[in-house]
Structure formats: structure tokens, C-alpha cells
Amino acid sequence: MTCCVVGLGLMGGSFALAMRGYFDRIIGVDNNPSHQEEALKLGLVDEVLEFEDGVRSADVIVLAIPIEAIIKALKDISKLSLKKDALIIDFGSTKESIVKNCPKNIRKNLVASHPMAGTEYSGPKAAIEDLYYNKVMVVCDIEESGEVQVKRAFDIYNYLKMQIKIMNSKEHDRHAAFISHMPHIVSFSIANAVLNQEDKEHIVTLAAGGFKDMSRLAKSNPTMWKSIFKENKKNLLKAVDAFEDELKRAKELIKREKWEELEEWMREGNKLHNIM
């Protein structure tokens, strides 16, 4: 069985690396010549082809690229002759726009998925074999996907030892805004706030675990996250509003020196880790 991985960065590269024993042949597609060269050198893929040639050759097509690029790729794929019962998997961080924009003639081929996995690094060199191990794979709107395609996708996710969760795409995007997308906005905000107030020497000297933990996500790829924020704008704004409400509450308690109430507010936040 042949797999074509479109996008040879962290997500696509890690998938290719982990699926070495499952597929007979793994084809890579990437617009970046240096990514193509690195992916071959690192042994992530067997060969690199142009988009059309790679897609036509594949039993499984994995779209590990930004959301807007996924939507364009699906439209391009819909004009090609695919293998019988070909499976298309997308790894987009939002699902509703992808599902809505998928051409009807290939909708049954698509199993819209979102792996809840990643790091702050990017490119083929960031690929790690166990990125998906024991992570959650959210699969959306499977009633619109073909039975053969769903079965094959689930077989792949089980091979990766992932936990499969089925969800409506609209519901997924709302949850993702709070749990994934809003924390990234907060991390970028923390990074910019510190950069605008502190010189480099003090940042290097005083930055400890707490700051490093909170600012880690600010290392993430801005181009990729711009696309995610754009596609999930409505849900993200609601999540940011909710965060601002909590921040204002904490600020007011500090301003009024309501230390006992502030402590109770923090204890409420402690409860999150009782369920994680």
C-alpha cells in the first residue's frame, strides 16, 4: 500500500516516520525544496514527487499542511483520477471549513481528522517517531465519509496507538478554540509583553520555569497559526473574551487587595488538573 504525505514538516514528517512498517512505499510532496531534500536525507519518505503524481499513485493521501492549503488541495484532488477507494486524511486544526469546502465527488474519500499532538518546532528535522503515540485523534463528521475509508483510517490510528474520539466538526472547532487556539494567543501575548518591557539581558538572567512554560508556545510557526486563527475567528474571539474576563477579575481582586478571594480564585483554577 502506498501513502502520499503532503507537507513534510513536524506533523507530516512524524506521520511518515511512524508509519514506516505499515506502508510499502511513502511518497513525499512539499513546495519547499529544502524540506524535500531533508525529508529524503532523514529517510522520512522513499521519494519526492510533484503533487499530482503523488496523489494519483497513493492509496492513502495525508494532508499535513495549513488549513487554506488543505482546502485548495482538496479542490485540486477532486479533478484527478484517484485509486479505487482512496483515503484522504487531513490534519487541519479546524474542521468545519474543511468539511464544508470539500468537493462532493471526493467527500466520501475524506476522513476529517485532527491529531491532538505537536511541539513548538517545525520542518522535517522536527519529526519524531512517537509524536502520535497515545495521543487523541479527533475524527469529525464520519457519517459523510465512506465506510471503507473510515475503516482504513481507524486502522491507521490504531496502528499509531492513538485514542480515537468522534465529534461534530462545529463542536470540535468550539472546543479547540478554548483548549488549543486560545493558549497560543496567550503565549504570543506574554512573549510580546515581556519583549516590549524588558531588555534581553534581564530576560536571559531572570526567565525561569514558569515563564519558559508559559511562553513555549510562542515558538510556534506564525504562518500556520495565522491560518488557524483566521479559520476559527468566531470561536477564538469568544475564547479570548472568556480569558479576558478571568484576567480582569484577577486584576480587580489584586487592585482591591482582596487576597483571600484571590486565593480562592486560584484554587478554582487548581481544579483543572484534577481532571487532566
State how far the alpha carbon of 53 is from the alpha carbons of 14, 67, 83, in Å. Answer: 22, 22, 12
- In the prediction, which pLDDT does 204 show? 66
Q: Is 87 in the same domain as 119?
A: yes
CB 63, CB 91: distance < 8 Å = yes
Residue type, 259: W
Q: Please tell me whether residue 143 adopts helix, strand or coil conformation.
A: helix
From 121, 139, 167, give the residue that closes a domain: 167
Q: Are residues 148 and 184 in the same domain?
A: no
What Cα–Cα distance (Å) separates residue 271 from each residue in 75, 209, 264, 275? 45, 21, 11, 7
State which of 167, 201, 228 marks the end of a domain.
Answer: 167
User: At what angle are helices 182-197 and 233-255 packed, to 10 degrees?
Assistant: 50
Indicate if 122 and 24 belong to the same structural domain: yes
In this structure, the answer to whether residues 185 and 162 fall within a common structural domain is: no
Same domain, 153 and 42: yes
What is the C-alpha end-to-end distance of the chain, expressed in Å?
Answer: 38
Tell me, yes or no, whether 67 and 104 share the same domain: yes
Each of the 276 residues of the chain gets a pLDDT tens digit; together they read: 999 999 999 999 999 999 999 999 999 999 999 999 999 999 999 999 999 999 999 999 999 999 999 999 999 999 999 999 999 999 999 999 999 999 999 999 999 999 998 887 889 999 999 999 999 999 999 999 999 999 999 999 999 999 999 999 999 999 999 988 999 999 999 889 888 887 777 776 676 677 788 888 888 888 888 989 999 999 999 999 999 999 999 999 999 999 999 999 999 999 988 876
**Residue 142 and residue 127: Cα distance in Å, rounded?**
28
Are 18 and 132 in the same domain?
yes
Does one domain contain both 204 and 138?
A: no
Co-location of 124 and 218 in the same domain: no
> What would the DSSP string read from start to end of 200-263?
HHHHHHH--HHHHHHHGGGGS-HHHHHHHHHHTHHHHHHHHHHHHHHHHHHHHHHHTT-HHHHH
**Same-domain status, 52 and 99:** yes
Same domain, 15 and 125: yes
CATH classification at residue 50: 3.40.50.720
Domain of 56, in residue numbers: 2-167
pLDDT at 177: 94
Parallel, antiparallel or unpaired: strands 60-63 and 47-48? unpaired
pTM to 2 decimals? 0.83
Q: Are 145 and 63 contained in the same domain?
A: yes
Where is the domain boundary, 167, 194, 210?
A: 167
Specify the CATH number for the domain of residue 179. 1.10.3660.10
How many structural domains comprise the chain? 2
